[in-house]
Amino acid sequence: MDVEQSTDVTQTDNMSDSEKSPEQEKIENLKEKHKLELDQIKEKFSKLLLGEDMSGGGKGVSSALALSNAITNLAASVFGEQRKLAPMKEDSKMRWRKEVDWLLSVTDHIVEFVPVDHTAPDGSNMEIMMTKQRKDLRMNIPTLKKLDKMLTV
């Protein structure tokens, strides 16, 4: 059975566009859509990491400001079309949730160094620096996520 599946794949790759079934075309369209989404994610993350300075010249803004700008721009593009107070369209909700989740995943890596007492295996005490998520993010991001969930139901 495995041999049959592999020959089917080879045969479909050799087919011209006119010979492909609608199901195969749908699969190819989904693959292309996912590839475009992945490229979009890569571009957004690189902008966030470089502080919106795509030249890499170090003249960008801080990561926090870049993140704030990205969320503001997303809100304008998703909610800017609202003309009246009405329930959001399902595709707008899905886009908002997906892209906000992408952007907020960066906040897990916005950290600060804090001194911590560490006892070595030989019993000596020393102070080392460890990373810890920033306090403002630890407090505010869960609250904002909860509020966002309430508003986009």
The domain ranges of the chain are: 23-81
Q: Is 64 exposed, middle or buried (0-12, 13-18, 19+ CB in 10 A)?
A: middle
Average pLDDT over residues 50-70: 73
| Cβ proximity of 145 and 100 under 8 Å | no
Residue 61 reports pLDDT greater than 60 = yes
Higher pLDDT pick, 82 / 112: 112
Instruction: Classify residue 89 by its DSSP letter.
Output: P
Instruction: Give me the chain's average pLDDT, please.
Output: 79
Percent of the chain at pLDDT > 70 equals 80
| b/e code 100-117 from CB counts within 10 Å (16+ = b) | bebbbebbeebeeeeeee
pLDDT tens digits, one per residue of 88-143 = 888 888 888 888 888 888 888 778 899 999 999 999 999 999 999 888 888 888 88
pLDDT of residue 126: 93
Distance CA 9, CA 12 (A): 5
Per-residue pLDDT, averaged over 47-61, amounts to: 69
Tokens of 74: 């997303």
Give the pLDDT mean for 46-67. Answer: 72
Report whether pLDDT(35) > 80. yes
Question: Are residues 74 and 100 in contact, defined by beta-carbon separation less than 8 angstroms?
Answer: yes
> Is the pLDDT confidence value at 2 over 50?
no
- Higher per-residue confidence, 130 vs 77: 130
* Predicted pLDDT at 17: 54
